C-alpha cells in the first residue's frame, strides 16, 4: 500500500509514548492555532454583529454582498425547496424521519415521583429548553440528515423556538435538501450562516439571529472550538452545548472472516467527510489488513471526493494487534465516535465495549446506516469525548427539575435528620430553617 495513505503499525512494537502519539486526533494537533483564531472571530462578531457576519460569510462561503442583505431564509425559499428535489430524495428524507422519530420517541425520559418517607413526596419533572440553536454543516457537502437528527428530537422535547443555521451556497441560497428536512421537522427559522460565524450569531444574538440557550450540531475543528469557547464564556454570556462533536471518526475491529471490501468502504465513508476526519482499523490478521489496504486503493480511485478522503487517510491507521482483547483495549482507550465490530459473533463481543458513541454489529451494519436512516442519532461525541458523554437524544433538549412536597407530618419524620446534618456542617441557618418549623408544628 502507498505509504502516503494509511500508516501501517504493529501495536506490540510500539512503546507507550508512541502509542499515545499515534492515537492523537489530527484536529488536536492544530488546536492552539485554531483556538486563537476562533477567539478573534467571536470577539469581532460580538462587537460588530451583522457586519462581521457578512464579512466572514463572503470570505469563507463565497457568497456575494448582494445576497447577504438578509441572512434568514424566506418563505419563498422554503416553498421552492421541495420542488428542487427529486421525488426519490424527498421520499428518502421522509422515510428516514419516520425511523428517527420512532427510535427517539421510544427512548424519551419520563418524569417520576416517589414518597421517600410518609408525607415527603419527591419528583423529577421535565421541561424543554426554551430556545435551541441547531448547526447543520454544508461546507464540502450539505447534510440534510443532520437537520433530521437535531430537529426531530427538538420537536419531541417540545422546544418553543428552534433556530437552524446552515452555510449559504455561492448564490446566497440555502441548500434545498436542508430546507426540506428542516420543514419536515417543523422548523421555519433558518439562517444562512456557517462555521464560526453561525455559532457566534446563535450564542450572542447577532445579525438578527435570536440568542439561543443551547447549541447543537457537528462541524469541523473550527466549529467545535467555537462551541467550546462560547460555552465557557464569562460574564453571563455563556450558552450550553450538546457535546464536542467535531471531525468524524471511525474505528473498525475486524477478524479474519471480515469482508475486506466492506471494511474498506466503511473506512472511506468516514474519510470522505473531511480532511481532518480519522479512520482506524484494528485486526490480528495481517492478511485482512493487506486486503483492506488494497481495497482502499481500488475504491478510492472511483470516489468523487477522493482528494478529501486521501488527505484524511494520511492521518489514519491500520493496526495489527495480538488479539481481539487487545483491540478492544485500544478502542476503549481511543473512545471512538463510531465503532464497527466486523466480527463473526459481534453481539457476544459487545460487553467488551466500554466507551463509544455508536456501535455497529456485524458485516451487514455499515456505519452509513446510522448516518442516515436506521433511527439512531449521528450527532455523536468525538475527540475521545465518548468517555464522558453520549450522542444527541430527546433528553439533550430538556432540563430535569426536581420537586419536593412535604407535609407537617413528613417534616416531623425527616426534619431531625436534616437538622443534625446541618449542625455537623456548621450551617446554623440551615438547621434553624428546619427546627423553627418543627417547633411550630409541635
Catalytic residue among 272, 337, 367, 378: 337
3-state helix, strand, coil in the chain (%, to 5): 50, 15, 35
Q: Is there a binding annotation on residue 270?
A: yes
Which residues lie below 8 Å from residue 33, measured CB to CB, with a gap of 6+?
none
Which three cell numbers mark 41? Answer: 472571530
User: What stretches of 32-151 adopt beta strand conformation (E)?
Assistant: 112-117, 120-128, 131-135
Query: Which one of 225, 338, 367, 378 is the catalytic residue?
Result: 338
Is residue 229 part of an annotated ligand binding site?
no
State residue 56 phi and psi, 5-degree precision.
-70, -35
* 220 is an annotated ligand-binding site residue: yes
Cell representation of residue 54? 457578512
- What are residue 240's phi and psi, to 5 degrees? -80, 155
Annotation marks residue 338 as catalytic: yes
Extract the C-alpha cell encoding 133: 440553536
By C-alpha distance, which of 248, 270, 282 is closest to 366?
Answer: 270
> Which three cell numbers, joined as nine digits, stand for 339?
465503532
Q: Consult the annotation and say whether 345 binds a ligand.
A: no
399 sits in which H/E element? strand 398-406
Phi, psi (rounded to 5 degrees) for 153: -60, -35
Instruction: State yes or no: 430 annotated in a binding site.
Output: yes
Between helix 286-300 and helix 260-271 the angle, nearest 10°, is: 50
What's the CA gap between 325 and 331, in Å, rounded?
A: 10
337 has catalytic annotation: yes
End-to-end Cα spacing for the chain: 84
- CA-CA distance, 439 to 435, in Å (whole number)? 6
Residue 170 annotated as part of some ligand binding site: no
Would the annotation count 314 as a binding residue? no
Residues near 293 by beta carbon (within 8 Å), at least 6 away in sequence: 1, 5, 6, 8, 318
Q: Tell whether residue 135 is among the known ligand binding residues.
A: yes
How far is it, in rounded angstroms, from Cα 217 to Cα 144?
Answer: 12
Catalytic residues: 337-338
Please state the residue numbers annotated as binding site for substrate: 248, 270, 273, 338, 371, 425, 430
Please state the residue numbers annotated as binding site for NAD(+): 135, 197, 220
Please state the residue numbers annotated as binding site for Zn(2+): 270, 273, 371, 430
Please state the residue numbers annotated as binding site: 135, 197, 220, 248, 270, 273, 338, 371, 425, 430
Amino acid at each position: 500500500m502507498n505509504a502516503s495513505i494509511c500508516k501501517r503499525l504493529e501495536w506490540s512494537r510500539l512503546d507507550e509514548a508512541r502509542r499515545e502519539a499515534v492515537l492523537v486526533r489530527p484536529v488536536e494537533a492544530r488546536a492552539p492555532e485554531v483556538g486563537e483564531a476562533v477567539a478573534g472571530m467571536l470577539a469581532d462578531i460580538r462587537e460588530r454583529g451583522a457586519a462581521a457576519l457578512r464579512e466572514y460569510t463572503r470570505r469563507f462561503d463565497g457568497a456575494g454582498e448582494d445576497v447577504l442583505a438578509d441572512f434568514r431564509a424566506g418563505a419563498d425559499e422554503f416553498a421552492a425547496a421541495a420542488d428542487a428535489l427529486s421525488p426519490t430524495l424527498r421520499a428518502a428524507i421522509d422515510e428516514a424521519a419516520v425511523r428517527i422519530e420512532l427510535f427517539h420517541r421510544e427512548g424519551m425520559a419520563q418524569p417520576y415521583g416517589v414518597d421517600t418517607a410518609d408525607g415527603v413526596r419527591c419528583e423529577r419533572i421535565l421541561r424543554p429548553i426554551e430556545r435551541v440553536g441547531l448547526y447543520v454543516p454544508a461546507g464540502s457537502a450539505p447534510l440534510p440528515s443532520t437537520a433530521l437528527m437535531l430537529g426531530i428530537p427538538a420537536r419531541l422535547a417540545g422546544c418553543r423556538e428552534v433556530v437552524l443555521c446552515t452555510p449559504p451556497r455561492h448564490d446566497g441560497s440555502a441548500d434545498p435538501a436542508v430546507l426540506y428536512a428542516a420543514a419536515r421537522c417543523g422548523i421555519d427559522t433558518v439562517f444562512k450562516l456557517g462555521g464560526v460565524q453561525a455559532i457566534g450569531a446563535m450564542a450572542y444574538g447577532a445579525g438578527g439571529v435570536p440568542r439561543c440557550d443551547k447549541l447543537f450540531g457537528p462541524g469541523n475543528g473550527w466549529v467545535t472550538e467555537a462551541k467550546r469557547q462560547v460555552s465557557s464564556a464569562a460574564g453571563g454570556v455563556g450558552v450550553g452545548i450538546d457535546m464536542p462533536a467535531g471531525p468524524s471518526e471511525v474505528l473498525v475491529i475486524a477478524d479474519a472472516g471480515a469482508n475486506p471490501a466492506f471494511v474498506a468502504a466503511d473506512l472511506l465513508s468516514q474519510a470522505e467527510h473531511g480532511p481532518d476526519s480519522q479512520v482506524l482499523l484494528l485486526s490480528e490478521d495481517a492478511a485482512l489488513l493487506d486486503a483492506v489496504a488494497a481495497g482502499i486503493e481500488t475504491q478510492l480511485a472511483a470516489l468523487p471526493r477522493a482528494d478529501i478522503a486521501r488527505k484524511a487517510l494520511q492521518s489514519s491507521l491500520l493496526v495489527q494487534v495480538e488479539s481481539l482483547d487487545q483491540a478492544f483495549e485500544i478502542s476503549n482507550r481511543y473512545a471512538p465516535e463510531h465503532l464497527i465490530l466486523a466480527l463473526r459473533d459481534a453481539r457476544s463481543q459487545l460487553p467488551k465495549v466500554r466507551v463509544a458513541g455508536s456501535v455497529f454489529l456485524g458485516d451487514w451494519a455499515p456505519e452509513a446506516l446510522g448516518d442516515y436512516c436506521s433511527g439512531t442519532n449521528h450527532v455523536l461525541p468525538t475527540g475521545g469525548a465518548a468517555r464522558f458523554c453520549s450522542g444527541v437524544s430527546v433528553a439533550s433538549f430538556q432540563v430535569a427539575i426536581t420537586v419536593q412536597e412535604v407535609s407537617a407530618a413528613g417534616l416531623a419524620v425527616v426534619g431531625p435528620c436534616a437538622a443534625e446534618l446541618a449542625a455537623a456542617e456548621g450551617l446554623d441557618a440551615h438547621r434553624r430553617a428546619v427546627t423553627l418549623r418543627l417547633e411550630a408544628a409541635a
